[in-house]
Amino acid sequence: MAETATHNHAANALEALRARTTVVADSGDFETIKAYHPTDSTTNPSLVLQASRDARYRHLVEEALAATPTPGVTQVERLMTLFGRELTQVVPRYVSTEVDARLSFDTAATITKARALLADYDALGVGRDRILIKIASTWAGVQAASVLEAEGVACNMTLIFSLAQAQACFDAGVTLISPFVGRITDWYKKADGVDHYSGDKDPGVLSVQRINAYAKSYGYATQVMAASFRNRDQILALSGADLMTISPALLEELASLEASNVPGLVQAPSEDARVMHDRAGFDWAMNEDAMATEKLAEGIRRFAADQRALESELTG
């Protein structure tokens, strides 16, 4: 009842959302996100590349170039941990930092890189309790996360496009998963020749609702963080999810919107039977899902390309 009261008297849609969901800033631009008081922050090579071109952050680029990073960490990765360090001064809880996407199919290399990133954060005075290690949700990535979580390393499994990926992550005991609402919708718009879906028909929203229902119905501790939003309607339809990572532009839009219409997520029992995948089952489930297969591969390629662009800009 107290939550409903907070919701009804919220000054704007962002406040109403924050009363039901942990709001995470999807940005490396820590100066801009300060105004929205997010709880957590997520970064990736694309966001750091964008922020590194901003004159306000030139000092971090220079610091990365002048530094001798921790063994196993490149200068580009030092730049990412420097942005992460600054973000820990803006948010009270977690900052997500991505493992190089080119390691997405190598379990051992992912584990080694994650440990090196945490050691680099330690050298910068940031404890591992503030960091989520972000890993692409391939089979190899999920196995790496299982090892890391057993060591006390919190992981954020990114590029989630299917229930099969979520199921594997849940069974691995990961801290957080990030299903990508907007990219799922993008694929179906193109496949179906549709310009717009209403909230209750949006394939990206429906995917997160399905994953969330499965997690809650079977009692998994893993939190679901909806990501990659294309518009405010997708965000409002999923209000009540554990977390949402939202771009500064959409945070601003929500802050200027009245709180009168925040429909929210309906918590319903899962219609999916509980499944615990082995490697063959996971691969088959992905093979049967053209959207998830294509978007996961595309997402990995894009993050890898931005990592290479960062390397080129930093060393060029």
pLDDT, one tens digit per residue, over 32-77 is 899 899 999 988 888 888 888 899 999 999 999 998 889 999 999 9
Residue 93: strand, helix, or coil:
coil
In sequence order, what are the residues at sequence separation of 6 or more whose Cβ sits closer than 8 angstroms to the Cβ of residue 105?
A: 138, 140
* Top-confidence residue, 160 or 267: 160
pLDDT of residue 9: 58
Average pLDDT of the chain, as a whole number: 93
pLDDT of residue 43: 82
pLDDT of residue 263: 76
Assess whether 216 carries a catalytic annotation.
no
CB-CB contact of 185 with 234 (8 Å): yes
pLDDT of residue 142: 98
In sequence order, what are the residues at sequence separation of 6 or more whose Cβ sits closer than 8 angstroms to the Cβ of residue 34?
A: 90
Marked catalytic residue, from 34, 113, 134, 216: 134
Q: What is the pTM of this model?
A: 0.93
pLDDT of residue 71: 95
pLDDT of residue 1: 34
* Top-confidence residue, 31 or 213: 213
* Banded pLDDT at 260 (limits 50, 70, 90): confident
Q: Which domains does the chain have, with CATH numbers?
A: 2-315 (3.20.20.70)
